[in-house]
Structure 1
Amino acid sequence: MMQTPSSDLQARRQEAMGVLGHSPTADIARRFADVAVPDHEQLRTPENGLVMLRGRIGGDGAPFNLGEATVSRAAVRLSSGEVGFGYTLGRDGTKAQLIALCDALIQTSQFASAVEAKVLAPLRMRVVAERKRRAEETAATKVDFYTLVRGES
């Protein structure tokens, strides 16, 4: 299937949201300090709310309400018209604001490469390294069980 420019942009935005959502606020802010941010307005100031988490029993059963999770969200519009949205688990309005700003900037041809190089690429490497470290820790505790098959006597 051939990717259209809009589906490519959507995939880039989704991947960026995944990286930013798994990164600490201080790391995002530190990396973002190196990016020249254009004029922008807040469409939605950071605010906290709840979302309902849904689950399924056995993976194929009927859905049920598992519980609620706290989220923060924000929205910004660049002076050039691009709109960015930021959502994150927890009560971190600053992180939601930074994610929204990043989302708006990666939609522009002028700032997308700078955001990728200065913010997303270093954070992506950190997230991948953290996942690898956790996988190695988990693998170290793995116990292989096996069953002996006995013949019937």
Structure 2
Amino acid sequence: MRYYEDIEIGETNEYGEYHVTKEEIIEFAEQYDPQPFHVDEDAAEESAFGELVASGWHTAAMCMRMLVDGPIEERASMGARGVDELRWKQPVKPGDILSIRTEILDKRVSESDPRRGYVDSRLEGVTHNDDVVISWIGLGMIALRNPNDA
């Protein structure tokens, strides 16, 4: 388990391998974002994308899954305060293989609760071609191993 004290500003890591399928794109979009270019291949061909693409929210969810299975699983995570600067950079298409890259940007101990630290990190979702498709800054909360030493 990695605690606040174990995390260094500037630390970078890569995680995951998520295979995106047409079926999953349509299933997610039908439930949460039923715009034509996410649910109908013919309509998608006539859209600005020219083909079926994943919802940006689906892209975020796929990256979140890799984040939970990667660094969050390894850390004494206490959740998050939110995200800043969420950007969809390029569409995700069936057949893409996604992974994530993370970089620790900042950390500080909470003034209101010295048992937790705030760790801000940049996440980029990238395809197998190294195209950045999504980015955000996660505002994580991580338990301190030794809160009395902070």
Task: Sort the TM-score into its range (normalised by shorter chain).
Answer: under 0.3
More helix by share: 1
Higher relative contact order structure (alpha carbons within 8 Å, sequence separation ≥ 6): 2
Q: Which has the higher strand share?
A: 2
Instruction: State the TM-score, normalizing by the size of structure 1.
Output: 0.26
